[in-house]
Amino acid sequence: MTPDGPTIVEAGRRLREGKTTAVALLESVLDVAQLTEAIVHAYLTIDREGAFASAAFADEELANGRDRGPLHGVPVALKDNMCTRGVETTAASQILGGYLPPYDATVVTRLRQAGAVIVGKTNLDEFAMGSSTENSAYGPTFNPWDVSRVPGGSSGGSAAAVAIGSALGALGSDTGGSIRQPAALTGLVGLKPTYGTVSRYGLIAFASSLDQIGPLTRTVEDAAVLLEAVWGHDPLDATSYDGAYPDPRAEMGRGVDGIRVGVVRELSGEGYEPEVETATANMVDRLAGEGAEVVEVSLPSFEIALSAYYLIAPAEASANLARFDGIRFGLRIPGPTTEALMSATRAEGFGPEVTRRILLGTYGLSAGYYEAFYGQAQKVRAAIRADLARVYTDVDVLVSPTSPTVAFEAGARVADPLAMYLSDICTIPSNLAGDPAVSVPIALDGRGLPIGFQVMAPALGETTLFRVAAEVERLAGFTARPVIDLVAS
C-alpha cells in the first residue's frame, strides 16, 4: 500500500470544510495502523479509547463553533518518553513496563489544549539512546520505505508512524539528532527547536542539557503548526526560555535571495555516501540559483563534537537514570537488602546500550577522571559555541547532510556501537550548541531511500530556519511516499 492520508494542514482544511470529521480522521489513521503495525511496529501503545473520546469531543466543539486552531481534531502520535496521565509510558524500557504516569507532560497538555487527538505512544531506542530504534526492549521499528532497514532513531517510531500515515504528525525528542536523523531516513521534516523553547517537563530525561522535543511531519508548514502548539515558556521547566519567541512563519515563502548559506566543510568526505553528498551539493547549487550567497565554512570543533557528546550525554544520563531503582515505581526485582533490590532491578530492567552509557557516564564523572573526561567535554562544548558564534557573523544558516548515509540494514550496526554513534555526526553540534536545526527530505537515492538535508541556525533563529527550510522543500519538490508490501515479511 501507499499511504494517502492528508498533511496536518490539509486535514484541517477538510475538517473545516465539513468534508471529514475528527473521528473519521482518527479511524483512517487507525486503519493504517491496523494494516501496518505488524510490519512496521511504530507504536508501543495505541490509546483507542482515549483517542476516540478526544476526537468525538473535537467534533462536538467544532460543531458548536469552538475552533482551537490548526491542530483541532488532528490525530498525532507521541514518542513514548513523554508522560501521559494514565496511559502507559515506558521509554521502551523493561524498567518502566506497565508504568502509568500520574501526570501529563507539558507538551501533552498543550497538544490537548490545541485540540489534537493523541493516537498513541511510539517506539524508540530505550531511553532515547540509539540511532536505529533497535534498542527498544519491546522490539525494533522498521522503515516503511524498506522494512529490512531501520527508520533511524531514537524517534524511529514517531518517524515510521508519520511516514506510513498512522499519524498525521508526531512529537519526537532530539538529544543528538534523534528527531532529524529518523526524519531524514524516512523522508520527513524533522525539527529540533532552540534549546529551552519547548518544555521538557514530563519528558523522561536522557541528557537534560541536550534534550529537546520537536515535531516530525510531512511538510515544513506542518512542522510550524506542531511547533506553535507546543512551544513557549513553561514555569515548570527552569531551563525554559521566557523571552520573546520568533515567528516561524514570518518569512516562509520569501525565498532565499540574499540569505547567506554556509556549507560546513567538516560534515562531508569519508563516511558520507556519494549519493548523499551529490544530493546535498545539488540542493546547495539550487539555493545559490535562487540568490542565496553560498560560502564554504570551517568549524574545526565539529570534528571533536561526537567525542564530547559521548562524554556529556552519558554523564547526565547516568544521573538521570539513577531514579529507576525499583523503589517507587516501575519494575522491582526483590532482594534481601535495599541495595540488592536496586542492583537486581537495574540489572534486569536496563538493556545493554543503556547499561553501557550509564557505565560510561559514571566513569567519566568519577574522581580522578572528571577533568580528563567530563571537564574536557565541557570545554569542547564551549569551543563549538565559540566556533558557531564566529561563523554566524558571516552566514545566516549552515547546511549539511542530516545523516552521512541513508537508512541502513536492520542489524547492520547493532554489534558496532561506534558505527552507530557515527550516524549522529552531522546532528550533534546543534544539540551541544542549543541551536535549532531541521531536516528536510530532498531526494531518493538509487534504491529509493530518502535523503535528508539539514539546515542549522543560531539560537532563536527559527524565522530564518523555516524560511530556508520552506525554500528547500519547494526546490526539492519531494512528494514521494513509501510503498509497503503488506504481504511480505
Which residues are the active-site residues? Answer: 79, 154, 178
Residue 5 vs 326, nearer CB to other proteins = 326
Out of 19, 254, 323, 447, the residue judged to bind other proteins by CB under 8 A = 323
Number of H helices, E strands in the chain: 15, 11
| DSSP string across 422-442 | GGGTTTHHHHHHT--EEEEEE
* CB neighbour list of residue 6: distance below 8 Å, 6 or more residues apart: 14, 25, 168
| Of the candidates 31, 1, 26, the residue with the CA atom closest to the CA atom of residue 11 | 26
Q: How many CA atoms lie within 13 A of 472 on its CB side?
A: 36
328 binds other proteins (CB under 8 A): yes
| Of the candidates 148, 158, 166, the residue with the CA atom closest to the CA atom of residue 189 | 158
Cβ-contact 111, 76 below 8 angstroms: yes
Out of 250, 322, 340, 382, the residue judged to bind other proteins by CB under 8 A = 322
Residue 7 vs 93, nearer CB to other proteins = 93
374 binds other proteins (CB under 8 A): yes
Q: In the stretch 75-114, what mask flags binding to other proteins with x, by CB under 8 A? A: ------xxx-----x-x----x--x-xxx-x---------
Residue 316 vs 353, nearer CB to other proteins = 316
Cβ-contact 265, 255 below 8 angstroms: no
Task: Write down the least CB distance from residue 377 to other proteins, Å.
Answer: 11
Position 375: which residue type?
G
User: In Å, what is the CA distance from 124 to each residue of 39, 85, 310?
Assistant: 16, 19, 19
Q: In the stretch 271-310, what mask flags binding to other proteins with x, by CB under 8 A? A: ----------------------------------------
Task: Write down the least CB distance from residue 105 to other proteins, Å.
Answer: 6
Q: In the stretch 213-242, what mask flags binding to other proteins with x, by CB under 8 A? A: ----------------------xxxxx---
d(CA 438, CA 466): 8
205 binds other proteins (CB under 8 A): yes
* Pair type for strands 212-217 and 189-192: antiparallel
Stretch 332-351 residues interacting with other proteins (CB under 8 A): 338-339, 342
Cβ-contact 179, 192 below 8 angstroms: yes
Residue 192 vs 249, nearer CB to other proteins = 192
Q: Near other proteins by CB under 8 A, which window of 55-63, 361-369, 379-387, 397-405?
A: 361-369
Read off the DSSP letter of residue 455. Answer: E
Out of 355, 362, 376, 463, the residue judged to bind other proteins by CB under 8 A = 362
370 binds other proteins (CB under 8 A): yes
The set of cell numbers assigned to 19 is: 468534508
d(CA 42, CA 121): 9
d(CA 141, CA 167): 15
| Of the candidates 463, 465, 400, 392, the residue with the CA atom closest to the CA atom of residue 427 | 400
| Total residues at interface with other proteins (CB under 8 A) | 45
Task: Write down the least CB distance from residue 56 to other proteins, Å.
Answer: 28
Task: Write down the least CB distance from residue 474 to other proteins, Å.
Answer: 38
Binding site for other proteins (CB under 8 A): 81-83, 89, 91, 96, 99, 101-103, 105, 200-205, 207-209, 235-239, 315-316, 318-319, 322-325, 327-329, 338-339, 342, 362, 365-367, 370, 374
